[in-house]
A and B are shown apart, each in its own frame.
Chain A
Amino acid sequence: MAVELIKERKAVAMTGNQAIAEAMRQINYDVAAAYPISPQTELMGFFAEYLANGLVDTEFITVESEHSAMSAVIGAAAAGARAMTATAAQGLLYMYENLPIASNWRLPITMVLVNRALSAPLNIHCDHGDAMTARDSGWIQLFTENSQEAYHSLIMAVKIAESALLPAIVNMEGYIVSHTIGNVNLLTDAEVREFIGESDWRKNVPHPLLDTDNPVTYGATALPDYYTELKYPQHLATFEAKEHVKRVLEEFNRLAGTNYQVIEPYKLDDADFAIVVMGSTAGVARTAADQLREKGIKAGVLKIRLFRPFPYEEIAEALKHIKAVAVLDRHDSMNGLASPLYQDIASALYHLPERPMLHDFIYGLGGREVTVEDMLKAFNRLINIYTGRETRDRFTEYLQVRE
């Protein structure tokens, strides 16, 4: 049986992977299934230590592949369990087939995605390529900036998923967050358990397979006469999900004293120029904005925490008065106008009567280090295009490429 380990709140130095393993222990999932892939491997190793020492009750299924990891947590969640998995890059792509199934069935699974670049070339370091491939899968997606946020987000994700009845991904950047020590304020075990509530197979999902007195069929074929009707409720649910996310963030803020919102504007109120970014780069971008402000340039940053469902109303509100916005995409979606975040931002702003000029920078691919100088370069290029000092051939440019 799970033991109470943390009885008083405390601050500890932890890597993102350690913090996530700690959250997993406190959540005390019924079922976890995972397959090793860098940079996620270490996380599951930490969790296995808890298991080996009898500190958690979780049934840990050491599956033979990521496809089976997602399949097993779908089976577990449909049975009525609180279930999770964790993966990265190739692992996510390998399990991908199952993602839209979990969301259409409204299974409140949580997944930690330790962001890693997609092959080829093979690379185990961070970018957001994996998360971007899941953006149409119907999963909720949260991005995090550091191990503290990753720890908090997994706890919040359990509650978000179970109230929105949609699966949720917590993105944590590979190595930059997963393997980097940061200060993490831990909640007590009791606080976490009270926040997420006791797992009850009769209540975690509306139609548990284990309820053999009320047999259900999961996965019937739906032909052209019904397919649309079975997609539409999911479509509506993704819109409702944002309200669930907001409510859970608020509840969590009250518990932990944090100030989490679906987006995090920084010095945007009077800004002329802004960077939109997700993940750990937000900190670097804020430093760059501060430096520009010292020189009299009104710069700001918008960090996006909730990537799916995309909080387009909040984003339009935050950016509507800005002159020019640089969207920083840690992924190249190829063959499009620009990369995913740019496209989403552009859509969010399109209906405004007046809207900022937009430019897209692809940066930080395959773990390329991101410096304050890079952010200053992005701001300067943006300002120069806006003022007409420089021209552009495309809406999207690589920020850090060696020519």
Chain B
Amino acid sequence: MTKRKKFVNIPVLTNLAEESRDWPYENPLAPGHRMCPGCSIPPIVNMALLEYGKDVVTGSNTGCLEVTTGVFPYTAWTVPWIHVAFENNAAVISGAEAAYRAFKKKGKIDKEIHFVSINGDGGSYDIGFQSLSGAAERNHNMLYICYNNEGYQNTGYQRSSATPIGAFTKTTPVGSKVVGKEEKRKDLTLIMAAHEIPYTAQANPFNYKDFTYKIKKTKDIKGFKFINVLQSCTLSWRTKPEDAFRALKLATETLYWPLYEVLEGKFWRINIKPAKPKPIEDYIAMQPRWRHVLKMPEVLDRIKEEIYTKWDFLVRMEKLSKELAEDLGFSLDEIFNMSWEEYQDKVKPKLKEKTYLF
């Protein structure tokens, strides 16, 4: 992190990190931020923003990413970044994007600027859900990334609606009557797919090729893009820092966190299909916050039911999507491999013709 050089009257940090000059060779998030060892937020942010380049306006809700990257007079952001409050970055970035459109249409700005909002699960699933849903419905041309560590980490780990069944949090302790969180995870990815926005996906930083493929894909798509990325939290999951990515790897191998993508709520494709899924117990065993459920067959059963019915649902959606693609004269892979323009030109007209299928 670089200290800004001149005291400005306005509490905005200028003269940012030296790293910004070396684009794109250095990480967009400069070293020196205050995230915990083993936290997987930095690789998520860096992988995403490296694909986007330097002409990007970014922002975040209040949360771990925000509080560790900008502590006055230091900042780790080498690209423009704005944090207003806990629940509104989708709206803030939608305003910035509208400003850009206003100047663009008047010919007052030439360059192509992209807009990326990166927020925690609490700020996306819960308190910020309204502004996320609103920006998605208005179809602002922006990418929204949810880094999902399954809890309110910045405030010391309370439950969020992304926290899994049975997990310990400070607001869902393990007691003699109640053991951890009772409710299952809200499925924000499905909810966003139901917005029928251009692109929705689930990703995992361990599967970095898949993740960067998805990020690249969003760069080409006009409209609202949403990616939900699982993120390990050293502090609350209590996985050893060096095991963070091993845990993340297991999340997808056990089907706990399937990697898939959805185009306009219509075409569903699963990106990684483990030949033989590993037992969920392997994943849970790596997380002291959650390990106690291994001795609780009824709780384990509920967890499994949630995971496997969801996987079954996704497989069926993919099957339907394949059928639909074939009816239109394409393979599902062909459709996902098209550029956004090609998709508009080739697939959309055919979709219109065949709407009776629905």
Contacts and interface: CB of A to CB of B under 8 A. Distances in A.
Contacts of B80: 209-212, 215-217
B73 interface: yes
Nearest to A233: B9
Interface string B1-45: 000000011111110100010000000000000000000000000
A214 interface: yes
B161 interface: no
Contacts of A74: 84, 92, 95
Interface string B162-195: 0000000000000000000000000000000000
Interface string B77-101: 1111111110111111111111111
B102 interface: yes
Given A212-B113, A215-B77, A218-B81, A201 B99 contact: yes
A63 B134 CA distance: 7
A68 interface: yes
B327 interface: no
A188 interface: no
A142 to B, nearest CB: 23
B82 A72 contact: no
A64 B133 contact: yes
B98 A67 contact: no
A122 interface: no
Interface in A175-231: 200-201, 206-207, 209-212, 214-223, 226, 230
A312 interface: no
Interface residues of A, number: 56
A131 to B, nearest CB: 22
Given A78-B82, A215-B20, A215-B79, A31 B11 contact: no
Contact of A212 (B55, B85, B108, B131): B55
Interface in B44-93: 54-57, 59, 66-67, 70-75, 77-85, 87-93
Interface string A24-42: 0000001101000000000
B91 A63 contact: yes
Interface residues of B, number: 61
A28 to B, nearest CB: 10
A222 B85 contact: no
A207 B66 CA distance: 19
B130 A64 contact: yes
Given A68-B131, A221-B72, A81 B13 contact: no
Interface in A81-121: 81, 83, 97-98, 101, 104-106
B295 interface: no
B11 A104 contact: yes
Given A80-B103, A212-B54, A216-B16, A105 B11 contact: yes
B72 A230 contact: yes
A168 interface: no
Contacts of B66: 219, 221
B13 A217 contact: yes
B98 A31 contact: yes
A79 B100 contact: yes
B131 A81 contact: no
Interface in A40-67: 57-59, 61-65, 67
Interface of B: 8-14, 16, 20, 54-57, 59, 66-67, 70-75, 77-85, 87-103, 105-106, 108-109, 111, 113, 130-131, 133-135, 137-138
Interface of A: 1, 30-31, 33, 57-59, 61-65, 67-69, 71-81, 83, 97-98, 101, 104-106, 165, 200-201, 206-207, 209-212, 214-223, 226, 230, 233, 237
